[in-house]
Amino acid sequence: MNLDFNKDITDLNDKALEILNKYYGYSSFRAGQKQIIEEILKGNDAVAIMPTGGGKSICYQVPAMIVEGLTIVVSPLISLMKDQVDAIRDIGIESAYINSTLSSREIDEIFQLALSGNLKILYVAPERLETSQFLDLVSKVHVGFVAIDEAHCVSQWGHDFRTSYRFIKSFIGILKTRPIVAAFTATATNEVREDIIKLLGLREPKVFISGFDRENIKINVVKGINKKKYIVDFIKKNIDSAGIIYAATRKEVDSLYDQFNDKDISCTRYHAGLSDDERSKNQEDFVYDRYNVMIATNAFGMGIDKPNIRYVIHYNMPKNIEGYYQEIGRAGRDGEESEAILLFSPGDIHTQKYIIDIGTSNEARKANEYKKLQNMTDLVYSNDCYRKYILNYFGEQYDTHCNNCSNCEVEGELTNKTLDAQKVLSCVYRMKRSYGATVLIDTLRGSENKKIKDLGFHRLTTYGIMRDYSKDDLKNFINTLVSHRILSYDEGEYPVVRLNEKSMAVLRGEEEVWFKEIQKTSKIVEDNALFDILRNLRREIALEEKVPPYIVFGDATLKEISGRFPETMEQLSDISGVGELKLNKYGERFLDVVLEYVESNKIEVQFEYKKKEKSIKSNDEPTDLDEETSKKGKTAKEQKEGKKKSYMLTIEMLRENLSLLNIAKEREITISTVCSHLEQYALEGNQIDFSVDFSDILSKEQEIVILEVVKEVGADKLKPIKEKVDDTITYDHIKVALLKKRLAI
């Protein structure tokens, strides 16, 4: 009995890996994923605590494909649901979501799918579980597994409590047979974990806690700089990468947005003061890579699944470490190198205190928030490894140095700034009473300002002793002194600078002041011409398919292609993130681009296989793909010849009077590929001496409309044409019409 069970679970584990490989195109589970999936496949309840970007969705999507019956995924956010379903449908998993954006007819259709057994995963918001229509559905289908995403919403101690999460437990109780139940969250506190187990009615679940470290995110804290200049410089260096800039207030978001637009940086923005329409449009523009820079308050980000965010910049220090870590966690979900940059100035503490003050009337909560603000401030002032500080704060043991934060980094020359520090401090000392930074700067720079004269500061010995500093540089230097607590900064109605014990030690020459040279901005992703070309192709396909580019392929996949140069379909299938369906759908187009690049740059490629399992090989149906995979190991030239054969096959089918649509279906290639075959044939000087049947793709009326628009906007680019025609005309229609025009057929 025991043996059988072990054998069964081994089989199930193998099956899980096969699914991961075939559908997602990944070769192995990440740390944590395997154990959680195994536990669910054993039929046990489970709680999984994983950081943002840790890979929770695969932990329930893969078992959903194995467990018998329907899997219901409870998810709190409408936007997240749609994105997740889009992504898994695109890799061939039968799934759907139900939420308030759907019409009752659409919901009916989904119910029918579920009833006929043609649906594996159904995403719903918790409120839906309470409706009689939904209860009626689940009384008729077998629900084998319920996965609860963002499970901390059930706890009032979590940061986004949702009453309807409390209903999940009785919903599960209503089901005819009790399904396996697994809960997922990124919130790690004990109280929340206990609430999840109790309030969701989990049965003796194993709790899996993955490490909270996000190794691929470099943590930078930058002090004493001109923030705007720094950001502009950084964005210009990383113009092709997507990033979020968080600012503390709406006003600041708007002001940054205006200033960056003035500097020709294309960016979008998000905060609670914008209309619903504008917010969702701006969010979509960012997710679809139409704008790379998003400037936002912390209202932005929940439910954003975009995996290729390369940086998160905090224009102000956030008010607690929880929020900060959640926000920087939005960078690099795809596991690629990313950066978190916190731009600190002492005034940020003042801003956050003010925000807490006006936002919270409950005294106990206010005190708690002040405490958290103090922890955040301590993190910023810490001289030790920032990662260590954060992970320890979340209760995780971490004793090493990460070598991937600005405190660990050895780069940056240390320079002795004791003399300049003494000049500033002695000026403060001589001014007797406390003044603001502006008076101090004006005095040190020898300003002719009336106020300075009225105060008599032009007679101080320190008057004008720092003329060699520009106003901005001196301001930054004073901020840096404050950041290192060599000078105190008192907030209040009129913030002032003041000496402290450390200042006195420096003035007396007992302590020296050494600062690291101000960090320079740098480029996160190194240039690779092929990567850029692949990214353009991805954008083109995403536009045709009306999906965000990351759904086509992730950055990690493009990067791997641009470094390994796959030349055959089989080689391409060895790239992480290339699953079977995507290989079929997009493979040819990506290979074309790689082949052209390899040939024109005369690159010698020695391709080595990495993925252990190749589900493609076990496909016994003889398909077009098999023909391609048998070309394993051929050179670029031979492969081109193979391609030649491939396009000739299309021409032969056209000669046999098959329509474009039928050829695309029959060969499992896209309409665009069929068009490119036809065009290739003509480009090689062949006469199109056969008739081509376009009728099932493009009607005469559509063709006329498109050609009218072409007269107006030209035929160089598809987008301007698409923008002028109504939605029923797709990119495929436009391509076909242009092809007909070019070939005069």
Spatial distance between the Cα atoms of 86 and 158, rounded to a whole number of angstroms: 28
Nearer to ligand ADP, 53 or 549 (CB): 53
**What minimum distance in Å lies between the beta carbon of 651 and ligand ADP?**
38
Pick from 13, 35, 44, 52 the residue near ligand ADP by CB under 6 A.
52
SS3 call for 244: strand
Pick from 54, 346, 566, 587 the residue near ligand ADP by CB under 6 A.
54
Pick from 152, 306, 333, 667 the residue near ligand ADP by CB under 6 A.
333
SS3 call for 367: helix
**Token duo for residue 515:** 């600062």
**Token duo for residue 3:** 């043996």
Please provide residue 715's backbone torsions phi and psi, each rounded to the nearest 5 degrees: -120, 15
Spatial distance between the Cα atoms of 353 and 346, rounded to a whole number of angstroms: 12
**What minimum distance in Å lies between the beta carbon of 433 and ligand ADP?**
53
Q: Is 548 in the site for ligand ADP (CB under 6 A)?
A: no
Nearer to ligand ADP, 331 or 482 (CB): 331
Q: Is 531 in the site for ligand ADP (CB under 6 A)?
A: no
Q: Is 26 in the site for ligand ADP (CB under 6 A)?
A: yes
Pick from 15, 30, 169, 741 the residue near ligand ADP by CB under 6 A.
30
Region of 51-59, 263-271, 461-469, 728-736 interacting with ligand ADP (CB under 6 A): 51-59
Spatial distance between the Cα atoms of 301 and 298, rounded to a whole number of angstroms: 7
Spatial distance between the Cα atoms of 562 and 550, rounded to a whole number of angstroms: 16
Residues 284-313, interacting with ligand ADP (CB under 6 A): 305, 307
Q: Is 29 in the site for ligand ADP (CB under 6 A)?
A: yes
Nearer to ligand ADP, 12 or 49 (CB): 49
**What minimum distance in Å lies between the beta carbon of 638 and ligand ADP?**
32
Q: Would you put residue 49 in left (φ > 0), alpha (ψ -120 to 50) or beta?
A: beta
Which contacts of 368-371 are long-range, i.e. CB under 8 A and separated by 24 or more positions? Answer: 369/319, 369/320
Spatial distance between the Cα atoms of 496 and 378, rounded to a whole number of angstroms: 21
Nearer to ligand ADP, 58 or 460 (CB): 58
Q: Smallest Cα–Cα separation from 124: which of 141, 144, 101, 142? A: 101
**What minimum distance in Å lies between the beta carbon of 86 and ligand ADP?**
13
Q: Is 58 in the site for ligand ADP (CB under 6 A)?
A: yes
- How many residues sit in the footprint of ligand ADP (CB under 6 A)? 17
Q: CA 417, 423, 425 angle in degrees (round to 5)?
A: 95
Pick from 41, 45, 57, 598 the residue near ligand ADP by CB under 6 A.
57
Q: Is 56 in the site for ligand ADP (CB under 6 A)?
A: yes
User: Are the CB atoms for 515 and 479 separated by under 8 Å?
Assistant: no
List the beta strands (DSSP E) in 99-195: 121-124, 143-148, 180-185
Spatial distance between the Cα atoms of 395 and 165, rounded to a whole number of angstroms: 27
Residue 375 amino acid letter: N
Q: Smallest Cα–Cα separation from 120: which of 91, 149, 99? A: 91
Nearer to ligand ADP, 50 or 222 (CB): 50
Residues 553-582, interacting with ligand ADP (CB under 6 A): 554
User: Are the CB atoms for 269 and 294 separated by under 8 Å?
Assistant: yes
Question: Of all residues in this chain, which one has the CB nearest to ligand ADP in the complex?
Answer: 55
Nearer to ligand ADP, 391 or 636 (CB): 391
Per-residue CA distances from 614 to 26, 574, 704 (Å): 11, 8, 47
Q: Is 126 in the site for ligand ADP (CB under 6 A)?
A: no
Nearer to ligand ADP, 54 or 587 (CB): 54
Provide the CB-side half-sphere exposure for 677 (13 A, CA). 25
Nearer to ligand ADP, 30 or 237 (CB): 30
**What minimum distance in Å lies between the beta carbon of 201 and ligand ADP?**
23
Q: CA 641, 643, 645 angle in degrees (round to 5)?
A: 75
Within 47-121, where are the H helices? 56-66, 78-90, 104-115
Q: Is 123 in the site for ligand ADP (CB under 6 A)?
A: no
Burial of 507 (0-12, 13-18, 19+ CB in 10 A): middle
Q: Is 35 in the site for ligand ADP (CB under 6 A)?
A: no
**What minimum distance in Å lies between the beta carbon of 279 and ligand ADP?**
22
Nearer to ligand ADP, 21 or 282 (CB): 21
**What minimum distance in Å lies between the beta carbon of 363 and ligand ADP?**
35
Pick from 38, 45, 150, 334 the residue near ligand ADP by CB under 6 A.
334
Tokens 């971490």 belong to 398
List residues binding ligand ADP (CB under 6 A): 26, 29-30, 33, 50, 52-58, 305, 307, 333-334, 554
